[in-house]
Amino acid sequence: MATGSYIKIHYPHVSKIYLIGSEQFRSQLTRQGFQVWHASDLVNYRLSAEDLERLVNDYPIDAVVVGHDTRFTYMSSVYGAVFIQNGAKFLAASDDPYFVMEKGNNIPGCGTLTTFMETATQMKVEVVGKPKTFMLDLILQDNNLSKEKIIMIGDSMSTDIRMGYNASIDTLLVLSGTSSREDLPNYEFSPTFIYPDLQSVLAAD
């Protein structure tokens, strides 16, 4: 919801979106009034100069939005790169480079996909979500909350805790994910609280 709200506020002319993201993300954007296409809708356009020129003419895309997409393919990036280089805004839901699975394996996150796209297009992505505070500001506004009433909990110093720091709210780092205690000296800010994992947070008094 935050990405769609951000677009409506900052880019009110945008109505047609090419999405690198999940079906759930697509449904959210559609409910907010956007026309949304995914690579799965464009399979008739192949990797040729003629087809890609026809793609741009057939789909006057206003913005390319990148989220977490388990269906991401090479052609997903080709379509997105072509739209961006033909004037579409380049936006991302978050900047998380990877996620940590239950047994410790890292898998690519939204930030990995945007880096891939940035390299291909030589264009810089505009991140809507973490570590920007827009999403948090929206939550505060919609729920009539003050900053003193909330805390940012996350496992990433570079996105979760940085967003809390940018918003001047308390933060809580759990050490069961991306960041460890050894990472803390690499940042100019520190979490307000540190816990081993979410279970220990829920068990705390």
**Is residue 154 pLDDT above 90, yes or no?**
yes
**Is residue 163 pLDDT above 70, yes or no?**
yes
55-103: pLDDT as tens digits: 999 999 999 999 999 999 999 999 999 999 999 999 999 888 888 887 7
Percent of the chain with pLDDT over 70: 100
Neighbours of 133 (CB within 10 A): 19
Q: Helix, strand, or coil here: 68? A: coil
Which of 7-11, 46-50, 81-85, 131-135 has the least mean pLDDT? 131-135
In degrees, rounded to 5, the angle at the alpha carbon of residue 155 between the alpha carbons of residues 157 and 145 is 85
Higher pLDDT residue, 41 or 141?
Answer: 41
Mean pLDDT, all residues of the chain? 93
**Is residue 27 pLDDT above 90, yes or no?**
yes
pLDDT tier for residue 205 given thresholds of 50, 70 and 90: low
108: left (phi over 0), alpha (psi -120 to 50) or beta: beta
Neighbours of 185 (CB within 10 A): 7
Radius of gyration from C-alpha coordinates of the chain? 19
2-25: pLDDT as tens digits: 899 999 999 999 999 999 999 999
The reported pLDDT for the residue numbered 61 is: 98
